[in-house]
Amino acid sequence: MTLILPNTSCVVVSGLRQLLGQAKVRNDVPTLTAYAVDASIYRMQPQAVVLAEHEGDIDTVVRFAVERGIPLTPRAAGTNLTGSAIGSGIILDISKMNRILEVNGEERWARVQPGIVLAELNKQLGRRNLLFGPDPSSGDMCKLGGMLANNSAGPHTLIYGAVKDNVQAMRVCLPSGSWLSASSINLNDPGLDQTLAAHPSLKPILDLVQRQRSLIDSKKPTVSKNSCGYNLFGLVDGLSRGVFDLPKLFVGSEGTLGVVSEATLRLVPKPQGTLTALIHFRRLEEVGEAVPHLLSLRPSALEVMDANTLNLIGRSAHGIPADAAATLLAELDSSEGEGDLRERADQMAAICGRYQLCGDLTIAYDKEQRDQLWKARKALYPTLYRFDPRKKPINFVDDVVVPATRISELIRYLETFFEGQHVPVAIFGHIGNGNAHITPLLDVNDRQDFDKMVRAYHEIHGAVLSRFDGSICGEHGDGRVRAEYVRKMFGEELYQLFVQVKQTLDPANVMNPGIKISETPFTEHIDYQRLSKSCATCAKCNSVCPVYDVFQSEDMSSRGWFEIVTAKDYSYLDSKRVVEACLNCKSCRTICPAGVDVSELILQRRAENPNQGSRWLFALQAKLPVFEAILKLLARTQSWWDRPAPRALLERLAAPVMKRIASTAKLPADMVLPKLATTHLRNRYPELTQPSAKKAGPRVAYFHGCAANYFDDGVGDAVISVLRKHHVEPELPPQRCSGTPIETYGHVDLVKDNARFNLQSLAGYDQVVTGCASCTLMLKEYKKFFESGPEQQAADVLAKKVVHITEFVARSDQHPPMGTPEGQGGKVTYHSSCHLRAAGVTKEPRQLLKQLPGSDYVEMTDADRCAGGAGTYIVKDYETSQKVFDRKRRNIEQSGAETVATSCPACMIQLSNGMRGRVAVKHVAQLLNDAYEAGAATETRPGAGQ
C-alpha cells in the first residue's frame, strides 16, 4: 500500500489558519506568485503568506515556524536588491503594521511600526519640523522594517548616518518566542542582568564579544560604511562606552535573528533651507580631486554618475552635456536659511572653478526644481530597463565601498574591466563616502553573458577587498547575492563568530535561512524568466497604487499584478480577484521609469474575459436616442427617487443587477449621486451641434464626453464659456463615449466601434478640446486599438490635436480680464486627476489656479494620488473606493482649503460624495469662468478703469 503524504504547503496553511483565521493567511496562486519576487534578481515561491496586523500575529507565526522547522522570512516593501525578502517557507508581511505610535518633539524621537513607508514617515514628521535622516533612493516606497533589516543609508548618509546610527531601541520577537526590548544597556545596570535572565541566548553573545574583542576590532572595515556580516563591531564600540548596545546587533541582520515589531528612532530638525547643485565634469579624475574640498562645505549628499551611466539613461533627456565624463549631484542643508546657502553656493562654485567643467553649475533652491535634478538619480536603476530588450540591469556587485579618496580610481578600474568584457555598465553612487553602485547590463539567459557575470562577481569583489581595502556591502545588505562572500571578506575566524551568533539566537535556522550566513552560490534561484521581461520589480508603482494603499498586500499591488498577469501559468479564474481590483488609474505607468503600464496589461487580460453583466449597458449607451430618453426621464423624476426611502428600495432592487457586474458592486442608498440634466448639454447649445466647414479660422471641436453632457454639473457650460472668452466658438460634433469605462470591463469591440465613430467625426477639426481627464487620455491613445492602416494613421493625427481645456488656456495668447466672484475666493487646492497626469498634463491646472484673483492656492499633500472614483469603480467596488478616498479626505482637510478643484467630472463625483459639502468641489474650467465673468462685470461697471 502506497503511503500518501499530505501536501506540506496545505498543512502549513491549515495550521496557520487555525491560529490566525482565514483572512490573514494566503496560499492562492496569485498571492504566492506575487510574493515570489522582490526587487532582486531572484525568485522563490513560498508555501504561505501571513499578513500580520499586530505583535500577537508575529508571536504566533514565529512560534509556529520554529516548532515545525519551517523557514520564516519577514517582509516589508520588498524593495530589497539582494533577495532577502523572499523565501521558500512562510512570508510574514508586516506592511499592515504601519503606524507612528509616539513622537517626542522635545527629545527628538519617534516610536514607529515597521510597515510605515519612509516617505510617509517623513511627511508626518515634517509637520513637526522633524526628520528621520537615512534616505535610500527607494524612499518613496521602502518601509522602515526593510531599512532596519538592511541598515539602509542613502545619499544623505554624510550628515545623517545610516540606520544603525539613528535607532535608540527596538522590539524584537526572538526565535525563542520571547519579546526583547532591545536598547543600549549600561554594563553596570542591574537591568542588564534581568534582560540576560529573561533572554538566555543573549548572554553567550555578550560573552563572545567580550572574549573576542581584539579579533573583532582587528577585522573592522576601515571604510565609512559597512553592512556586511553581523555588526559585532558596533557591539565592541558599545563595550568601549560601557554599554551592551543591543540595537546594533539587530539592525542589518536581515531578519535572520528575529522579527521587529517597532523601533524608537532618533530624529533631527528638518532643514530650513536646501540647495541642490548639478555639476558636469570633463575629466573623471577631477571628480575625485574635488570631493575632499566639497566635503569642507558640509554637504548632506554627494552623488556621482559616470559617463557610461549618463549615456545609458540618455543625456539629452536630462540635459547632460555630451562631453561630460561624470556628473556630480551635491546637496547642502541649512538650519539658517537661504542666506547661508547662497554663501556656501559661492564657495562651491569657487571650488569647482578650479576644474574643467562642462558649463556653469546648475543650482536650485526651490523644491520642485531640486526634485527635478534628483529625478534621474532616483529613477536610475529601473530606467536602465529601457536600454535594451534583452540586456537588463543585473544587481550582483551593486554595493561596494572604498575609501572616498579612491572612488575615481575605482570607477576607472570598473570602466576598464567592463569595457574589456564588452558589457555596458552604469556606475553611480554616494561618492562622498566611497559607496559605488555597479549595475552591468546583461542577458543572463545567454551563456556568454552568464559567464561574464560570474567572472565579474568574483574579480570585482576580490579587487575591492584586496586592491582597494574596501567592503563588498555598504547599505543594501548581504542577502543571497553576497552571502557566499561574507567569509572571504572577514576571514574564517570572524566568520565563525557570525555563525555562532546565528546558531545561538536561531538554533533551528528558521529565520530567513540562506541569507547572510550561507555557502549557496549567488547564482542559485536567479529568476531567468523575469529578467527577460520589462519590469524592474523596483516597486515604485506600488508607492502610487491606490489598491495597494488600502490592502497593503503584494497580490493587491501594481508590481504583484505584473507578476500575476505575465506568469506562464496565468489563469483568469484563479486571478479574477486581483485582476478585477485595478482601478485603471494609470498611476503605475506615470511613475514607472522603465515605461511599464501594468494597468494596460490588466485591461488586456480583462478583454480575454469581458464582463458580460455590463455589456447591455454599454450597448444601450451606443443607442443614443433611447439611452438619452431614459436619462432625461430619470432626471425629471430625480427629486422623487433620490431621497432616503426610495434610494434604500432602489439599492435592494438594483442588487441582483449589480452582482452580475461584480460581487462587490452596489449603488448605496447614502451615496451622493450627481444631478442628472433635464436638458443635455448638446440640447442647450443646438447652434454648436451644426458644424460648418466654411467657418473662418481654425475649427475647434469640444469633445464634452458623457458626464458633461448628461450631468447638471456646470462643467460643459463652463468649458464653452471659457473658450468663447478666448475668442473661440467651439463646435459640438457627433460623438460617442470615448471608451474608457467600456474598456475597463473588457469590451474592446465596443471601444473600437466608438473609436471609429469618433475618429471620423473629429477628422475635420484643427483642434479638439476636452474637459474630462479620461476622455483626454483615451482620445490620445486610440491608436493602440488599431494595428496599422488608415485608422491607426487617423488615430495618430487625432492624438496630436487633443488638448485639455487647461492646456488650451495656458497656451492661449488671449488674456481675458479676471476678477474675484462675489462670495468666492479663499484657499483653493487641486486634486490632480490620474488620467490627466498620464496624458502629461500636470503643471497647467496648477498654473491657472495660482492666477485666480482673490484666491490663495495651496498645494495639497498627495495631490497626485488617486481619489478612488475611477469612473464607474465607485459603483463596481464602493467599499474599496471609499477606503482609497480616506487618504484624499485627510489631505483636503489638512490643506485648509474651502474649494477643491479638479480637471475631471468623474473625479468631481467622488470628491462630492466623499466630502459631503464640507468643501466646494469645482472643475478648473468653472473657477476660470467665474473669474472671467467677475472680470467682465468689473470692466462694464460705471467708472471702471477710471
For helices 905-915 and 773-780, the axis angle rounded to 10 degrees is: 150
DSSP per-residue letters across 832-858:
--HHHHHTT--HHHHHHHHT-TTEEE-
Show the cell assigned to 804: 485639455
Max Cα–Cα distance, the chain, nearest Å: 107
- How many whole angstroms separate alpha carbon 42 and alpha carbon 481? 9
Buried-exposed string 252-276: b where 16+ CB fall within 10 A, e elsewhere: bbbbbbbbbbbbbbbbbebbebbbb
Please count the residues of the chain.
Answer: 946
- Any idea what the Cα angle at residue 215 is, between residues 209 and 216, rounded to 5°? 55
Residue 377 dihedral angles phi and psi, to the nearest 5°: -65, -45
Cβ-based neighbours of 855, under 8 Å, separated by 6 or more: 820, 824, 825, 826, 827, 828, 849, 899, 927
DSSP per-residue letters across 288-320:
HHHHHHHHTT--SEEEEEEHHHHHHH-TGGGT-
Burial zone of 941 (CB within 10 Å; 0-12 exposed, 13-18 middle, 19+ buried) = exposed
Q: Which of 625, 605, 513 is nearest to 74 (CA)?
A: 513
One-letter amino acid of 539: A
Buried-exposed string 287-325: b where 16+ CB fall within 10 A, e elsewhere: bbebbeebeebebbbbbbbbbbbbebbebeebebeeebb
- How many whole angstroms separate alpha carbon 488 and alpha carbon 477? 16
Q: Which of 136, 133, 83, 40 is nearest to 429 (CA)?
A: 136
One-letter amino acid of 681: L
One-letter amino acid of 744: T
- How many whole angstroms separate alpha carbon 167 and alpha carbon 752? 57
- How many whole angstroms separate alpha carbon 93 and alpha carbon 332? 37
Q: Which of 139, 148, 105 is nearest to 121 (CA)?
A: 139
Q: Which of 334, 359, 353 is nearest to 290 (CA)?
A: 353
Rounded to a whole number of angstroms, the distance between the first and last alpha carbons of the chain is 107
Q: Are 848 and 809 in contact (CB under 8 A)?
A: yes
Name the strand (E) or helix (H) holding 334: strand 326-334
Name the pairing type of β-strands 25-26 and 48-51: antiparallel
- The pLDDT, as a whole number, for residue 7 is 54
- The pLDDT, as a whole number, for residue 374 is 85
- The torsion of the CA quartet 767, 770, 776, 778, rounded to 10 degrees, works out to -90
- How many whole angstroms separate alpha carbon 572 and alpha carbon 565? 9
Name the strand (E) or helix (H) holding 20: helix 8-20
- Taking phi over 0 as left and psi of -120 to 50 as alpha, with beta for the rest, 355 belongs to beta
Three-class SS of residue 110?
A: strand
Show the cell assigned to 11: 498543512
Name the pairing type of β-strands 400-401 and 435-442: antiparallel
- The pLDDT, as a whole number, for residue 756 is 97
- Any idea what the Cα angle at residue 114 is, between residues 111 and 119, rounded to 5°? 85
- The pLDDT, as a whole number, for residue 799 is 97
- How many whole angstroms separate alpha carbon 486 and alpha carbon 515? 11
Cα separations in angstroms, 293 against 290, 296, 341, 353: 5, 5, 17, 12
Residue matched to cell numbers 483565521? 21
Q: Where are the alpha helices (DSSP H) in 135-199?
A: 144-150, 157-160, 190-198
- How many whole angstroms separate alpha carbon 253 and alpha carbon 251? 6
Q: Are 46 and 30 in contact (CB under 8 A)?
A: no
Cα separations in angstroms, 796 against 272, 738, 751, 786, 787: 48, 15, 17, 10, 12
Q: Are 489 and 401 in contact (CB under 8 A)?
A: no
Q: Taking the model in full, what pTM does it have?
A: 0.94
Three-class SS of residue 67?
A: helix
Please name every residue paired with 305 in a beta bridge, in sequence order, or none if there are none. Answer: 327, 428
Question: Within the chain, which residues score under 50 in pLDDT?
Answer: 1-6, 945-946
Three-class SS of residue 142?
A: coil
- How many whole angstroms separate alpha carbon 590 and alpha carbon 756? 27
Residue 200 dihedral angles phi and psi, to the nearest 5°: -55, -25
Please name every residue paired with 181 in a beta bridge, in sequence order, or none if there are none. Answer: 171
CA dihedral sign of residues 580, 586, 587, 592? positive
Q: Are 663 and 580 in contact (CB under 8 A)?
A: no
Name the strand (E) or helix (H) holding 32: helix 29-34
- How many whole angstroms separate alpha carbon 520 and alpha carbon 522? 6
